[in-house]
Structures are given as structure tokens and as C-alpha cells.
Amino acid sequence: MELYTALVHYPVYDKNRRLVATAVTNIDVHDIARASATFGVKGYFLVTPVAQQRELVGELLDHWTDGPGARYNPRRQAAIARARVVPDLAAAATQIRAETGHDPITIGTGANVKDRMVSFHQMRKLLEEREGSALLIFGTGWGLEESFLDAFDYVLAPIEGPVEYNHLSVRSAAAIIMDRLRGLRDPEEN
């Protein structure tokens, strides 16, 4: 399948579990665009309903794709070129349908997922074997709102290490998830 990523800034929780729209951060744009480029992701959607935020991000993207940033660092340009700003996931799905001819399957992620989990191994196989397109969705703040997450076609199991602690930044989590789904594996692992 063609893979797309989305970073959602609403609806997500804050640290007191209130619903908020988080601000888009520079570093999330860059780090996740670079990981998306590395793992062959076709488009990376920055999702925020706040019009002013979309304008600001649009200016940031222009700086790196057409402006001084593009000349300063062409590698960065190549990564940022796949980033786009949209108000919601429906708008992302519309673009994906236009590009691939398929409605994407939606894959949610979260550190606290407990039900209805699909393993990374299963999802990796599904992405390899099926036709169509898939949208992999990451949440900012303290994670994607529950009913929003529940509405996705699949929800990935949380990333776990050998200990209890699992409070990764969304940048780290997104990188690990893309690697688990699309990274080249050592021959002796297969």
C-alpha cells in the first residue's frame, strides 16, 4: 500500500485530560517529515483546525521548499516537500483519494491503547500485501481523544521497551512506528 502520515493537533488531550488544540511545532514538522522521507511515505499531513496555525505552517513549509531554506539545505527540502497542511483528516483523505484512487485505511496510534490492538507485525504484512493506501495517524499533546481514535480502521499496539516507562515524544514514537512498519530488516531476522 501507499503509506501516508498525519500529525493531529486536535482533538487531543492536555496533561489534565482536557480536550485541546495544540500548537504546531517546528521540530515536529522537520523530524517527522525526515522520518517520513526515510521510510518512503508519500505525504505527511499536519492537521489543525486553527486557520492561523495553518497559515504559519504554510509559511514554514514555503521557506524550506521554495525559500532560503531550500538553498541552505536541499536534503531538508526533499523531506519537507512531502508535508502539507490540512484542517482535518477528511481533507487528507480527499487528497489521498485524488492521488491514489483509493480511500485510505486509517491506522491510529497511542501510548495507552489497550483494546482492539493490531500488532506491528500484522500491520507490516497488511501494508506489504494489500493494494490501496493507508494513513498512519499520530497525536500531539497527551494523545488522541478516545472516541476519535476508536473510529479508525485499525489501532496499533503501544510501543514497549523492557521497562514500565513509555512516555516517548511524538517525534520518537513516529520514527519508531515507521521503522517497525517499513524499515529494512537484517536478513537474519527474516
Is 172 a binding residue for a second copy by CB under 8 A? The answer is yes
Is 1 a binding residue for a second copy by CB under 8 A? The answer is no
Between residues 88 and 179, which has the closer beta carbon with respect to a second copy? 179
Q: Whole-number minimum distance, CB 154 to a second copy, in Å?
A: 14
Is 154 a binding residue for a second copy by CB under 8 A? The answer is no
Q: Which stretch binds a second copy (CB under 8 A): 37-45, 55-63, 97-105, 144-152?
A: 37-45
Q: Measured between alpha carbons, how far is 132 from 185 in angstroms, rounded to an integer?
A: 23
Reported as type and span, the H/E element at residue 99 is: helix 89-100
Burial 51-85 (b: 16+ CB within 10 A, else e): eebbebbeebbeebbeeebbeeeeebbebbbbbbb
Between residues 129 and 189, which has the closer beta carbon with respect to a second copy? 189
3-state helix, strand, coil in the chain (%, to 5): 45, 20, 35
Q: Which residues ranging from 108 to 147 are in contact with a second copy (CB under 8 A)?
A: 119-122
Between residues 44 and 54, which has the closer beta carbon with respect to a second copy? 44
Nearest by Cα to 120 from 75, 64, 179, 168? 179
Burial 106-130 (b: 16+ CB within 10 A, else e): bbbbbeebeeeebebeebeebbeee
Q: Which residues ranging from 51 to 90 are in contact with a second copy (CB under 8 A)?
A: 73, 75-76, 78-79
Between residues 97 and 121, which has the closer beta carbon with respect to a second copy? 121
CB hemisphere CA count around 61 (13 angstroms): 21
Is 189 a binding residue for a second copy by CB under 8 A? The answer is yes
Is 175 a binding residue for a second copy by CB under 8 A? The answer is yes
Reported as type and span, the H/E element at residue 92 is: helix 89-100
Is 31 a binding residue for a second copy by CB under 8 A? The answer is yes
Residue owning grid cell 480502521: 153
Which residues sit at the interface with a second copy, rule CB under 8 A? 15, 27, 30-31, 34-35, 37-40, 73, 75-76, 78-79, 119-122, 157, 159-163, 165-169, 171-176, 178-180, 182-184, 186, 188-189
